[in-house]
Every structure is written in C-alpha cells, then in structure tokens.
Structure 1
Amino acid sequence: MMTTIVLCILMGMIFLAYHTTYVKATTVKLTLPGVSPLTLIHLSDLHGRTRFWNGELHKLVNAYDPDIVIVTGDLTQHRGQLTRVLNELAKIKSEDGIFFVPGNYEREAGRFRKKAYSAAGFHSQKEAWQQVMTVLENESTVIEKDGSCIWIYGFDNSMYGNERRPRQEIQQANLTIFLAHSPNIVSLIHSESLKADLLLTGHTHGGQVRLFNRTVGAYKHFHVGQKEDQSVGVFGISRGLGTSRLPIRLNCFPEITVYAINGS
C-alpha cells in the first residue's frame, strides 16, 4: 500500500514537472503583402528559467533560424538570476537582432512579497540588457530587410504606468510591430487609435493552470495565443516560459511562438 502511494506521488511529480518544463512551439503563419519572408520568434516571462525538459532555450530557438527574436519582459525572478539568463540569450543566433521591452519584474523582485528596485538598480540592469539585446523603453527601431521596412515600437508597459505612445508619427512601413509586457496595453492602443500589424505581449502565463481549456487562476479575461484585432491586426499573448507565484504549470506548457510570415 505504501509503495503504491509513493509511486503515485512520484508519478504526479513527474507529470507536473513535464507540464512545467516541456517547451512547446506554437507556429503562427501570417500573410502580409509587401513583406519579405520572415521568421520572428516571441519569448516572454522567463522568470529565471533557461533549461527545460527538452533542452536549453537557445537551442530550442536556434533550431528555427530566426530573423528577429522578441522578448517581452520578466527575465528573472530576482537579480541574482540575470547573468545566467543573459548568457543564455546571448547564445541565440538571430540575424537581425533581439529586441526587449521591460516587464514588471524588471522593476521588482520576489515571488510573493515583491520589493521594488531603486532607479539606480534599474539602470544598472538596463546596461546589462543592452549588452545582449536592443532595449525599447517607449522607443522604436527600424529594420531594413530584403527590400522591406519593419518598424518596431516597444512600450515600457511594466504595470507601473510608464507606457507612452510613440512620440513621433508611426513611419510608413511594410510591417509594424508593437511590443509590450502586459496585454493591458491594448486599451491605450485603442484609446489613442494606434495601428499596427502585430502586437506581442506576455505577463499572463496563460494562467499557468488550465482545466477544460479554461484558465483557472488570474487573467481569465484575456485570451491565450492569438486573436484578430481591429487596431493591431494580430494580438498575441504568449504563455511564457517560466512561472510566478506557484512554481508549477498544468495543461499550460511553456511556449515559444514562431511567427512564419509569408512562407518563411
């Protein structure tokens, strides 16, 4: 009897570990006129996790030979994890770069009782991010690729009210991408009548626990994955890679999202 109980507990732990650490890739095929074939990978909410059941993060990403990699915040659970996470991201081979927007954990640390970083602490981290990625903190960048113009704007959507609309008019581009950590940014986008082809966000973790294809925990009001939107074309919310608060996932696997644009 005791052996059976122990075996059941062990199997349950393995089951949860598999759901928590096995990364699934979601491929989204988009057809956008005037855009050269492009592979864009979206990562979010690492919370310090870089190794998974099925491999190291950089190997999982590099397998897709990405043109652009987007990271939408919450790299770590606490600052002590930052060097390891950045070392992993530095191994990603992205032809046109890695682009990053801060999340709430870029300004605070802790699983249950969060402590805000000082301004000096934030800027110290930012200097480290910039060694590996292009940081877009209410800023834009333009990529010229194979005759296409790609305009990317990153909102500093950190749950601290720091997000700002673009200071300049959105440039004419073949592809316009908005980035933010929290999907709440869509309210500002709608109220300001901003337009894009793609909005990429994270923060919700897909709820982390899902039953009958429904979120059990927080963020029930947000979709998981992609949906059409009148302002941003495709509105994507990543399930993310790590965990926050509860250190488990159930029926909500860690995710990298591969946007295959125009047959890439």
Structure 2
Amino acid sequence: MDTMFGLLISGILACVVCFGIYSSIIERFWFRIQHVRIPIVRLPKPFSQFRIVLISDIHMGFFFSQKHFRSVVEEINKLHPDMICFAGDLLDSDSCVASMGSTIPLLRKLAAPYGKFAILGNHDYRAGIQHVVSGLEKGGFRVLINEHTVIQKDAEVMFIVGLDDILKGKPNPEQAFEGIPEDACTLLLVHEPDFADVSKKLPIQLQLSGHSHGGQVRIPFIGPIVTTKFGRKYVSNLYHFDSFKLYTSRGIGTTGLPVRFCCRPEITVITLEQNSEIVTYIK
C-alpha cells in the first residue's frame, strides 16, 4: 500500500512538473497563425480580400522580452498584411515601462501599406497611458481613443473606429462615431470583447478585441477555467450576431501567471470577404 501511495504521489508530482515546463516554456511561445475569412456587409468591392493582421495583449515585460517580440514581428511581416490592428495591453504594469525602449524599434519594423492602428487596454492604464501612447506612436501606430479614421482604396472607403478602454478609460461611442455615415462599412477596435453586447446595436459590421487571453489555461471539452471581467462571454474566436460579427484574439503574452495550456498565443490574419455567407478557417 505504501509503495502504491508513493507511486501515486510521484506520478502526480511528475505531472505537475511536466505541466509547468510545457505551459510556461513551450506553449507560451508556440505562436499560432490563425487565418479566418469573414464576410462583411457593405464591404466596398476594392476591400474584398483585404488582409488585416490582429494582435493583442503583448504584456511586454511580464516574462515577455524583446527576443520573444522580435519573433512575433518577423512572423507578421512574412504575412504581408494590408493593415495591422493592435487591440491593447502593450505593457503589463508600471514596472514594465523600462522595456519600452527596446519595444519601439520592433514596432517600427512592422509594415502594412494601409496603416497600423492601436487602442488602449486596461493594463496600459496600469503602466501609464502616456508611456504607451508615446511608444506606439513612435513605433508608427495611430492610436485611436474615441475617434475614427478612414481607409481609402480605389476611391472607396472603410472606417476604423477605436474606443478607449472600457474598464479603466472613458469610452465615448458618440464621439468616436461622429461624422460616420450610417450606411458606411465600419470596423471597431475595443479591448474588451463583451462590449459586443453594445456594439451589435451600433452601425458597425465587425468588432476586433482581445483582453481575455482565451483564458490562458483551458481544459479540453470544458474551456477556460478562469475568465476576466468583460471577457467572459466572448472569450476567443469568431462570434456572429446577424450582420454584425466579433473576433476575439487569444493574445500574444500572459498576465497573472506566465503560463498557457491548450490556449496557444495567437497572430490572427483576417481576410475580409464581400457579400458571402460562408466563414472559413484555414488551419
């Protein structure tokens, strides 16, 4: 009996050690390139096959270094996106501000002919938004805080709206959407995905978010064991609300604990489709 009990304890300890090594050293840096095609209502014809790379939740400085981010930048540039969107949480906290100096040159290397756009996340407020906004802008990103911009292609336009963080900021949809025609094709960047319950009532076709990290630790056939405020309903992947759609990224980095299990970090390539009812994933 003592021998069996000892074997059981040894087996449990071995499993814990294996889980710790895999989740903190292997899966956490095993980036997945997720391709998804999304049909967009009112998408102007020139924007059909338009490719957006979405990244989120880098949490630079929280067990995530310049070396790790460099590999992300290299992977993104290999994808040759038309546009890059960053959905918030560049830094993890104020203790990570020192890492911004090495982050800015890497942000500059990201290339997209139709621009690079970013919003703020709740951890960016913890780090100090003055540092984050300055770093993103020096890295070539347009930071959208309750405002919008216009992307033009072959005389047709698409609007990109960015809201302030829902948890820590002061989101103002009325200000952000002011001047956008109701029949326009409009994409929304907002850090927290559960804002979709509000977004689906607004004149937009697609919301891009992060924040949830997909839960970071997921149990097969069950899902994430821990979720976060405003990231509990729409934790990851694509959601449909009639003509409105939401995509939630699992993000790049981690917070809380530097582990991922059954929830690989994600670089998302979104290809916009015109007037199609079929959504396909390319593995």
TM bucket normalised to smaller: 0.7 to 0.9
Matching residue of 1:92: 110
Shift of 1:150: 1.2
Q: 1:184 to 1:8 in 2, by over 3 A?
A: closer
Computing the radius of gyration from Cα coordinates, the structure with the larger value is 2
| 1:238 matches 2:253 | no
Question: What's the counterpart of residue 43 of structure 1?
Answer: 55
Deviation readout 1:3-38 (Å, 9 max, x if unpaired): x99997775454222211110011111234533231
1:51–1:210: structure 2 CA closer, same or farther, 3 Å change rule?
farther
Q: State yes or no: 1:211 paired with 2:219.
A: yes
How does 1:1-264 map onto structure 2 within 5 Å? 12-16=19-23, 17-32=25-40, 33-36=43-46, 37-48=49-60, 49=64, 51-52=67-68, 56-77=71-92, 78-109=96-127, 117=128, 122-131=129-138, 132-167=140-175, 168-171=178-181, 175-190=185-200, 193-213=201-221, 214-219=223-228, 220-230=232-242, 233-262=244-273
Query: Following the alignment from structure 1 to structure 2, what is the Cα–Cα distance between the partners of residues 216 and 105?
Result: 21
Letter in 2 for 1:85: T
Equivalenced residues, count: 246
Q: Structure 2 counterpart of 1:82, which letter? A: M
In 1, Cα distance between equivalents of 2:73 and 2:52: 14
Cα distance, 1:195 vs. partner?
1.9
Counting helix residues as a fraction of each chain, which structure ranks higher? Answer: 2
Structure 2 residue ranges without an equivalent (≥5)? 1-9, 275-283
The code of the aligned residue for 1:188 comes to V
| Kept in 2: contact 1:23–1:52 (CA 8 A) | no
Q: TM-score, normalised by structure 2?
A: 0.78
* Counterpart Cα distance in 2 of 1:135 and 1:148: 23
Stretches of structure 1 lacking an aligned partner (at least 5 in a row): 110-116
TM-score for both structures, normalised by structure 1: 0.83
Aligned partners of 1:202 and 1:99: how far apart in 2? 14
Shifted more, 63-72 versus 28-37: the winner is: 28-37
* % identical equivalent positions: 26
Kindly indicate whether the alpha-carbon contact (under 8 Å) linking 2:31 and 2:267 is maintained by their aligned counterparts in 1. Answer: yes
RMSD: 2.7
C-alpha distance in 2 between matches for 1:217 and 1:8: 21
